Amino acid sequence: MLYKRIRKLWKKPRINLKEATRSRLIAWRKQHTVERVEKPTRLDRARALGYKAKQGYAIARVKIGKGGRRREADRRGRKPSKAGLTHFTHGKSLQWIAEEKAQRRFPNMEVLNSYMVGEDGQYEFYEIILADPNHGNVRNDPNMKWLCNPASRRRVQRGLTSSGKKARGLK
């Protein structure tokens, strides 16, 4: 019942969580790009994607700049409109890039999944669920034992998370 209510609130966060969202985004904007957080902002989504509130699991919030990619300018007398600087897009989604940033920040942990927690005009914010494959709680959990397998290392770099598979056209 509680998770159903939380899910309903997060369907329209700008309406249902207006003041909370606004103050959160202002605070998050001032923080580092990858910030470890104590508990998930969206508990229902985190639990659905594999998060457990015990040692061996962590949540990281990542802010990532919105928009496409700009190419470096060629400084040799070109007309700016013909220089081909804009209208480039990544082959990856911003969510996948956010997961990779979290992986680089926490190299001993593996990315399980991620979900969006907010956006403003400049940034998108994602929470990334991380698990430590060397921790006893993860190793002894029958549903998470697969993560300890060496074949599961660096899954985010190989596009094996949910957002990675989606960007690769597998979903």
Residue 61 domain-assigned?
A: yes
Task: Flag whether the pTM goes above 0.85.
Answer: yes
> What percent of the chain shows pLDDT beyond 90?
73
Domain containing 119 — which CATH number?
3.40.1120.10
For residue range 77-117, list pLDDT tens digits in order.
778 787 888 888 888 999 999 999 999 999 999 999 999 99
Tell me what the mean pLDDT of segment 53-69 comes to.
94
Does any domain span residue 121?
A: yes
CB 39 within 8 A of CB 119: no
Range of the domain at 136: 33-68+84-167
Cα atoms in the 13 Å half-sphere on the side-chain side of 62: 29
Taking the C-alpha atoms of residue 17 and residue 109, their distance in angstroms, rounded to an integer, is 32
